[in-house]
Structure 1
Amino acid sequence: MTQVNAVIFDIGNVLIEWQPERFYDSVIGPERRKAMFATIDLHGINDVVDRGGNFRDTIHAAADANPDWRDEVLMWHDRWIDMAAPAIDHSVRLLRSLRGAGVPVFALTNFGIQTFDIAEPVYPFLGEFDRRYISGHMACIKPDAQIYEMVEQDCGLDPATLLFTDDRQDNITAAAARGWQTHLFTGPQGWADRLVADGLLTPEAAQ
């Protein structure tokens, strides 16, 4: 087994649930939400923010471009923190247990500059990483190969010694192509089991 010198967490759907569709279902109902998402590529618009675009300007421009959905689109800005909720508590415990065990822990996340600023006071654990790689500040998003290369260059570690978890297969595939060790996140228990299997945490510390 190759030594792990750092564990890298994605954030959305690994440490914090990110389910905009669920939010809109609760506010405007599933049928109207389905119609809106079929009309407007809201996730694509969010990618602009994650690449460093100004959050307010990007969402307001999308609202202006879609007057029939203006109020709903503006919710993506005005109620964004309600979409990025709640924290996945077991994953947060794993993050803290790794740090307690002396394992360097990084974040690599598609996250906007302003949205991260909104999230950090709500989720204090976002300030607990040894290094943070936030796509908005890097002007590059996963799964672009460049973002993984930027992480490697900054941390100076052998890619084969990085263990990365993410909930999206395309992001995992891109990391694996660079030689990273990877784990497709489908839930915190599976991630805990992987950390124990790799000798990074004891079963007790992984609970």
Structure 2
Amino acid sequence: MTVDAVIFDIGNVLIEWQPERFYDRVIGEDRRRAIFDTVDLHKMNDRVDRGEHFRDVIYETADQYPQIRDDIRMWHDNWIEMASPAIEHSVRLMRALQSKGVPVFALTNFGVESFAYAQTEYDFLNEFDRAYVSGHMKVIKPDADIYAQLEADCGIDPKHLLFTDDRLDNIEAAAARGWQTHLFEGATGWAARLVAEELLSKEAAA
């Protein structure tokens, strides 16, 4: 089946997103586990991804837990260290597709302010043909509405969209709408899929 646009998730597809790894390095695994058992920081981040203000949400949450306030604030203050490094092979694949004239979109759970910040650190985040960012859309994957909004905006038949994401629930939600999908488990496998779809040559996908 033909592919008219390729859609990339960002976290753990184009940029590593590993908050636990950051906290383990900075405060140690035992303290990190205790903090994450006390407060669901990923659920907190979902609020940001739905469009609430990045700093306000995190600092408000931190103030509810005075004994670990500074630790929670690191989610904001050291955020770019959690969202790093770039996955260079995936970035090359994105650019290779565009060099072949294939439109490349982003569909990402990302806050408004945090995405703008990331764009200052990673040039390639400014290079999508279209960027669908949950914070602006006020809905996060895998809610069906975020996929519907993308379809309505780009006007491409869902069966001609090829989407990669590292989370199975996000992939399944897209597949339920007729999208072609690829569960991202590493850039090498994604490259092979793009070659198999005849979107890139083996050389271009290397």
Amino acid paired to 1:70 = R
Amino acid paired to 1:67 = P
Q: CA deviation at 1:190?
A: 0.2
Q: Percent identity over the alignment?
A: 67
Structure-2 residue corresponding to 1:91:
90
- TM-score, normalisation: structure 2: 1.00
1:122-141 equivalences under 5 Å are 122-141=121-140
Q: CA deviation at 1:205?
A: 0.3
Deviations 1:126-150 (CA, angstroms, capped at 9, x unpaired): 0110000000000000000000000
- TM-score, normalisation: structure 1: 0.99
In structure 1, what is the Cα distance between the partners aligned to 2:120 and 2:142?
27
In structure 2, what is the Cα distance between the partners aligned to 1:99 and 1:200?
10
Unaligned stretches of 5+ in structure 2? none
Deviations 1:64-115 (CA, angstroms, capped at 9, x unpaired): 0111110100000100000000000000000000000100000000000000
Unaligned stretches of 5+ in structure 1? none
Deviations 1:161-199 (CA, angstroms, capped at 9, x unpaired): 000000000000000000000000000000000000000
Give the secondary-structure state (helix, strand or coil) at the position aligned to 1:106.
Answer: strand
Give the secondary-structure state (helix, strand or coil) at the position aligned to 1:11.
Answer: coil
In structure 1, what is the Cα distance between the partners aligned to 2:26 and 2:70?
12
Give the secondary-structure state (helix, strand or coil) at the position aligned to 1:205.
Answer: helix
Amino acid paired to 1:194 = R
Structure-2 residue corresponding to 1:178:
177
Amino acid paired to 1:169 = L
Structure-2 residue corresponding to 1:76:
75
Amino acid paired to 2:40 = D
Q: CA deviation at 1:117?
A: 1.0
Give the secondary-structure state (helix, strand or coil) at the position aligned to 2:51.
Answer: coil
In structure 2, what is the Cα distance between the partners aligned to 1:38 and 1:167?
24
Task: Give the CA RMSD over aligned residues.
Answer: 0.4
Amino acid paired to 2:41 = L
